Amino acid sequence: MGNNITEIAKKVLKDEAEGIALLDNFFDDNFSAAVNKILKISGKVIVTGVGKSGHIGKKISATLSSTGTPSYFVHPTEASHGDMGMVGSEDIIFAISWSGETSELNDIVHFSKQNNIELISLTSSSKSQLAESSNISLILPKATEACPNGLAPTTSTTMQLIVGDALAICLLNERGFDKDKFKSLHPGGQLGLALSTLEDIMHKDKTVPLLDSGTNMSEALIRISEKGFGCSGVIQNDELIGIVTDGDLRRHMGPELLKKTVDEVMNKNPKTASKNMLATDALDLINELGIQGLFIVDNEKKPIGFIHFHDLIRIIKQ
């Protein structure tokens, strides 16, 4: 029985992959025209659909909104009972129906014509009522559903989802929607934290582990232990000139260690970062260099903060 299950699962993967492959020729000038039409509107993208197409539509609308294209989903049945008022003259409607003959869409299609609101459709039939009523009709290639009965929307919804993602990412790219803008729409949750800059999360002021040049190692060991980061920066005239780490202590371990100054023990090439560096980029850098943390410095090499790799892991993985 186990082998049969895995074989069926692999066939689903094969069937849906074949459907995805058919999309290669789908992304043409017509698709580009749809992207450009959306770019020109001053309103929102109103996504609508019924059944599985409706579920896909909700996801597409959410992806559009989170990547810089204002959008919301309106269920066509609810639209027919008052929610049509949510659609403005500056908006554009994006209607999804595999057959293109979904009767529940009739009212919102009629509304678009009556009010000169442009309509983009996503369907598999160029001869369908929906396609012929649209300003731009995006015609999906016919594909075999992964369902053995050929009934449950499977391959078709995967294809719809990919078109929605492609639409959102093309719009994102055309708008120049960068990480900073993405962060502004995701201030909370894991995404927001991962897109935080070091300035947002770094240790500041008296919590930054710093020692003055010339400090005796007997005092330095106590100060390093108190801060709890396993290292300390060394400054001279407010400029970061070195770092003392656990590794440096091990390399200099011996009866003479406590008689030395931090200048004799420190690494004179501390790795630093800008306050504008993203938390994800900082973690990548720390892993690449195999170090414990980074000092954040200003243009004058004055340390203004410190970030330990444990801080970054807690933020990005939570």
Phi/psi at 188 (nearest 5 deg)?
A: -110, 170
The lowest-confidence range among 57-66, 78-87, 240-249 is 78-87
Can you give the residue range of the structural domain that contains 139?
2-177
Is 144 within the bounds of a domain? yes
How far is Cα 312 from Cα 307, in angstroms, rounded to an integer? 8
One domain for residues 203 and 128: no
pLDDT-based confidence at residue 111 (cuts at 50, 70, 90): very high
271-277 long-range contacts (CB < 8 A, ≥24 apart) are 271/295, 272/240, 272/296, 272/297, 272/301, 272/303, 273/198, 273/297, 273/307, 274/198, 275/197, 275/198, 275/199, 275/202, 275/304, 275/305, 276/197, 276/198, 276/199, 277/197, 277/198
Whole-prediction pTM value? 0.64
Q: Of the residues 144, 177, 210, which one is the last residue of a structural domain?
A: 177
Is 186 within the bounds of a domain? no
Is 66 within the bounds of a domain? yes
pLDDT at site 245: 87
Q: Of the residues 177, 212, 227, which one is the last residue of a structural domain?
A: 177
One domain for residues 156 and 216: no
One domain for residues 135 and 264: no
Closest to 139 in 3D by CA, of 123, 118, 128, 127: 123
Does residue 184 register a pLDDT over 60? no
pLDDT (average), residues 134-145: 94
One domain for residues 107 and 209: no
One domain for residues 230 and 168: no
Question: Of 236 and 195, which is predicted with more confidence?
Answer: 236
Domain CATH number, residue 76: 3.40.50.10490
Residue reference for tokens 């243009």: 299
- The alpha helices in 72-125, defined as continuous H runs, are 76-79, 106-114
Radius of gyration of the chain (CA): 29
Is 192 within the bounds of a domain? no
Q: Of the residues 127, 148, 177, which one is the last residue of a structural domain?
A: 177
One domain for residues 161 and 232: no
Q: How far is CA 63 from the centre of its chain?
A: 10
Domain CATH number, residue 233: 3.10.580.10
Pairing of strands 272-273, 293-297: parallel
Ramachandran region of residue 281, left (φ > 0), alpha (ψ -120 to 50) or beta? alpha
Question: Of 38 and 187, which is predicted with more confidence?
Answer: 38
Q: Which amino acid is at 137?
A: S
Does residue 183 register a pLDDT over 80? no
User: Helix, strand or coil for residue 88?
Assistant: coil
Longest Cα–Cα distance of the chain, Å, equals: 90
Is 310 within the bounds of a domain? yes
Does residue 117 register a pLDDT over 80? yes
Residues β-bridged to residue 48: 95
How far is Cα 132 from Cα 121, in angstroms, rounded to an integer? 9
pLDDT (average), residues 115-123: 96
Q: What is the pLDDT of residues 71-80, one digit of tens each?
A: 889 999 888 8
Does residue 185 register a pLDDT over 60? no
CB 303 within 8 A of CB 240: yes
Is 182 within the bounds of a domain? no
How far is Cα 133 from Cα 125, in angstroms, rounded to an integer? 12
CB 253 within 8 A of CB 316: no
**Sign of the CA dihedral with 289 first, then 272, 310, and 188 last:** negative
Helix 2-21 / helix 155-175 crossing angle, nearest 10 deg: 50
Q: How many residues are given for the chain?
A: 318
One domain for residues 48 and 172: yes
One domain for residues 210 and 312: yes
One domain for residues 163 and 216: no
How far is Cα 5 from Cα 12, in angstroms, rounded to an integer? 11
Residues β-bridged to residue 72: 46
pLDDT at site 197: 84
Is 128 within the bounds of a domain? yes
Domains of the chain: total: 2
DSSP conformation letters of 41-73: -SS-EEEEE-HHHHHHHHHHHHHHHHTT--EEE
One domain for residues 127 and 224: no
How far is Cα 127 from Cα 172, in angstroms, rounded to an integer? 31
One domain for residues 83 and 113: yes
One domain for residues 30 and 172: yes
Is 83 within the bounds of a domain? yes
Tokens of 212: 């003055």
CB 163 within 8 A of CB 122: yes
Residues β-bridged to residue 308: 293
Closest to 294 in 3D by CA, of 258, 225, 245: 245
User: Across the chain, what does the average pLDDT equal?
Assistant: 88
pLDDT at site 280: 79
Tokens of 2: 């186990």
